[in-house]
Structure 1
């Protein structure tokens, strides 16, 4: 349930009959210990980059997305078409093909690639968790090609002022949706949480600052041997929590300083995309 002033309270939610398939368990990863992890459709690569690093992304069949935070270093994306310099927070989208990242400082970089990419599919620490597809998660079908010729696209957060009624700062690619949520200064009010569920997609909650308690409840199915206790897992940053459908979940910032989450979905969310003005690069990345 959302508070009335939460922008998500107006989302259309389809009522679907339950499939009866087993519900996957949530997964929690400290990215300093497990820098490459995956969900059903996306691999997340966390790198503590250093000045002078040359990161080879491989030759990819799909797009690459690079999440740039306030702590990230400046860098240059190099493709066969040239070089693109990035020196502020935002989302970078690199077209299919070969690319490299030349790093010009110290700090974290997060890359997203499709889970089927040959150069990356065997690297995740939790690859065994997806030895078989999770039946409750819709498989990725790429959304339409972006407008214009293939090129590196950079969407800086500095060009997106806060706007009442919009939920975060959302960008999409053909395969991913990334939502830069606002910084939370101090703990979240425990009386104003937002437990909710998703019917058929996973949520990756990437903690880039502070600490969170992820509250997750697995619904009861007819087979009581599959029931799980509610989870209230405290995890710092950098970390990623993979939240499976249709678990009920909400995340509670708990650090007295600055807390920030970035939510990742694959494929892009239709419900967010249908909200006018929510997806900030919708003019370049059309819906199906």
Structure 2
């Protein structure tokens, strides 16, 4: 773990191994899914485009909508998370209660289990996050073959406790979150997800302030929604040289999703000269971030497990 002293993550507890992990086999390759060059998986009759991809524990649907188009209608056994990326992202949603909810981004929205329908009332991107045990949707992912065999270093998803006041539509507006240098980004969690809706950064990242680190047992999905990034990823070497692979220094545009498997060492570098913006997604919630006072902005609604 290597963070600058004024990086809030420098206060995190180190993984059980103080140095980079070593593992023989079973380490998945990173996946670089660049929607800026990949054709959409679905184009609606009205012209909305959707890319459907998955990780081990999640499914992500990235939609570039036509205003007024119904971009989602289904019934789920678990909560769904919507990310409204910017001010042009807006939805009108209904759930099984029949109530209508209107939201304009940037925002994170939690949709309760059961029937729901989402109509885009804007033209900005809308992202849906589902659990991968929603088998119908996991099978639609363009990279479904990568998970025909579960990746052994990724811990199974174990949902955290139910929200204290029950399932309901919840809206978290990024405009309601004041900047705080002691907090790392803008973190929200549900039973199954943790999302860090990081604010955009201006210009290229300072190369003297990189942050290479690794995770022992969970994937990180980095969603680039603006600008250009290089994802630097190093697979640890074990004793079996046949399993070694070169370092990745993959350049991706926006929008794109990079899936970073454990226990690879990684860091991301914004290189666009204007704004660079990514959102980090984890399924399920991270205990280390949750342990930091004030970091999870809706912790009073979604409690941590009692060990």
TM-score class, shorter = over 0.9
Q: In 2, are the aligned partners of 1:187 and 1:254 still within 8 Å (CA)?
A: yes
Please state how far the C-alpha of 1:187 moved relative to its aligned partner: 0.4
CA distance in 1, matches of 2:195, 2:113: 18
Q: In 2, are the aligned partners of 1:72 and 1:109 still within 8 Å (CA)?
A: no
The TM-score, its normalising length taken from structure 1, stands at 0.97
CA distance in 1, matches of 2:205, 2:215: 22
Q: SS at 1:120's partner residue?
A: helix
Please state how far the C-alpha of 1:19 moved relative to its aligned partner: 5.9
The TM-score, its normalising length taken from structure 2, stands at 0.91
Please state how far the C-alpha of 1:149 moved relative to its aligned partner: 3.0
Alignment of 1:259-278 (within 5 A): 259-278=276-295
RMSD across aligned C-alpha pairs, in angstroms?
1.3
Q: In 1, are the aligned partners of 2:85 and 2:107 still within 8 Å (CA)?
A: yes
Higher mean displacement: 50-59 or 252-261: 50-59
- Indicate how the Cα distance of structure 1 residues 158 and 176 shifts in structure 2: closer, same or farther if over 3 A, else same: same
Q: In 1, are the aligned partners of 2:82 and 2:126 still within 8 Å (CA)?
A: yes
Q: In 2, are the aligned partners of 1:21 and 1:135 still within 8 Å (CA)?
A: no
Tell me what 1:180 maps to: 197
Q: SS at 1:121's partner residue?
A: helix
Candidates 54, 59, 62, aligned match of 1:38: 54
1:206 and 2:207 equivalent? no
Tell me what 2:90 maps to: 74
CA distance in 2, matches of 1:80, 1:59: 9
Please state how far the C-alpha of 1:5 moved relative to its aligned partner: 0.6
Alignment of 1:59-208 (within 5 A): 59-81=75-97, 82-208=99-225
Q: SS at 1:151's partner residue?
A: coil
Q: In 2, are the aligned partners of 1:3 and 1:9 still within 8 Å (CA)?
A: yes
Q: In 2, are the aligned partners of 1:58 and 1:119 still within 8 Å (CA)?
A: no
- Indicate how the Cα distance of structure 1 residues 203 and 57 shifts in structure 2: closer, same or farther if over 3 A, else same: farther
Q: SS at 1:271's partner residue?
A: helix
CA distance in 1, matches of 2:284, 2:219: 9
Unaligned stretches of 5+ residues in structure 2: 41-50
Q: SS at 2:242's partner residue?
A: helix
CA distance in 1, matches of 2:136, 2:70: 16
Tell me what 1:3 maps to: 4
Higher mean displacement: 24-33 or 243-252: 24-33
- Indicate how the Cα distance of structure 1 residues 156 and 71 shifts in structure 2: closer, same or farther if over 3 A, else same: closer
Tell me what 1:229 maps to: 246
CA distance in 1, matches of 2:88, 2:32: 22
Aligned length: 288
